Amino acid sequence: MIPSLDAAPLSPTQRANLIEAAAHAQVSDHLWQAALGSDSTADPTAPEPAANTPDRFDLTQLLALFDARHGGAARPSPLDALASDPATCPPAGDAATHHLGPNAIHASTLQAAADRSGIPGAALAAIVQAEAAKDSGGRWNCYSRNPRSSAAGLGQFLGGTWQSLAEKPGSWLNGVAQAHGWLDSTGRVRAESKAAVLALRYDPTAAIQSIADYARSNLDTLRRAGVAVGTDPATIARSAYLGHHLGPGDMVRFFKGGLDDARARTLLTAQIGHSGAGRAIAASGDARAAHRAWLTAYVARNVQPQRFA
């Protein structure tokens, strides 16, 4: 149901666009829930993300797309327990679009990554929005860090994952590594070059291009595994984000319902703590169902490419 709102100040075209966007968002949510085998209605017993999780995108937020200022503050994702750095990203391009709000400086980089990878720019922006810390104005912080792991940058890439992208033929990062002589004769990152490779996680262009490569790789992995991936930006973004969050192996098992109870319990505990996981598991009946309910709800709530369409 589209929430009631006084849309009188809007032109007929703007009102129509709002209704279409809100309806599309709801349909995408239903398709996403159905694709994962989850009921589309909220389960009152399902665990909720931490209190600072951004609220579900609704019609009120859609109105902000028509405000050139778009100055609402976004909050860091609890998924990564990011430690914000006062410094924010340097400009990554000179294109401007109000759909990206304070992050319009990244428009040209997102478009370039989309053109190269085939992943919609709105989907890439949604993944960054879910991963990166933000400053008080909602600007993505390219120096985002996770104090509990090696995750860093706009894409919150772990060191090992980032290095594997640098070593993967055909990736954007592999091309940079080759150009700088950071790879040995076998295509592996040289020991003395590892620090330079990992430092690129804080470069917004490198991060966005690598998010696109990783998303493309994870979606291809799903298709090879026989998992149907839709073509709309919301499904693409959320499916790719699950790979970004879980890793390719657990991603495939998650889509096929094959995460075992022990693994699901470990993953859920890492996200909502031991006591929260215990309550969720007791309410759902088993760890696999509890983890699926939490992660499905979290991704649907936080990965919203329609905000950037």
What is the rounded CA–CA span in Å between residue 141 and residue 103?
10
What is the rounded CA–CA span in Å between residue 142 and residue 212?
16
CB 294 within 8 A of CB 47: yes
229: tokens are 């991936």
CA triple 76-79-83, angle to 5 deg: 50
The reported pLDDT for the residue numbered 195 is 96
Q: How far is CA 280 from CA 161, 181, 269, in A?
A: 30, 49, 10
The reported pLDDT for the residue numbered 92 is 45
Give 140's strand partners: 134
CATH 3.40.50.300 fits 12-308, yes or no: no
As a dihedral over the C-alpha atoms of residue 282, residue 283, residue 285, residue 289, rounded to 10 degrees, the angle is -110
The reported pLDDT for the residue numbered 36 is 52
Q: For tokens 């009102």, name the residue.
A: 15
Radius of gyration (Cα) for the chain, nearest Å?
A: 19
43: helix, strand or coil: coil
pLDDT (tens digit per residue) in 220-249: 999 999 998 888 899 999 999 999 889 999
CA triple 43-40-25, angle to 5 deg: 125
pLDDT (tens digit per residue) in 198-208: 999 999 999 99
pTM above 0.95, yes or no: no
The reported pLDDT for the residue numbered 39 is 41
Q: How many residues can be counted in the chain?
A: 309
- Going residue by residue through the chain, which has 309 residues, state the pLDDT in tens, using 9 for 90 and above: 223 333 444 455 544 544 444 444 444 444 444 545 544 333 333 333 333 333 333 333 333 333 333 333 333 332 232 333 334 565 544 444 448 999 999 999 999 999 999 999 999 999 999 999 999 999 999 999 988 788 999 999 999 999 999 999 999 999 999 999 999 999 999 999 999 999 999 999 999 999 999 999 999 999 999 998 888 899 999 999 999 889 999 999 999 887 999 999 999 998 899 999 999 999 999 999 999 999 999 999 999 999 887
284: tokens are 């759902």
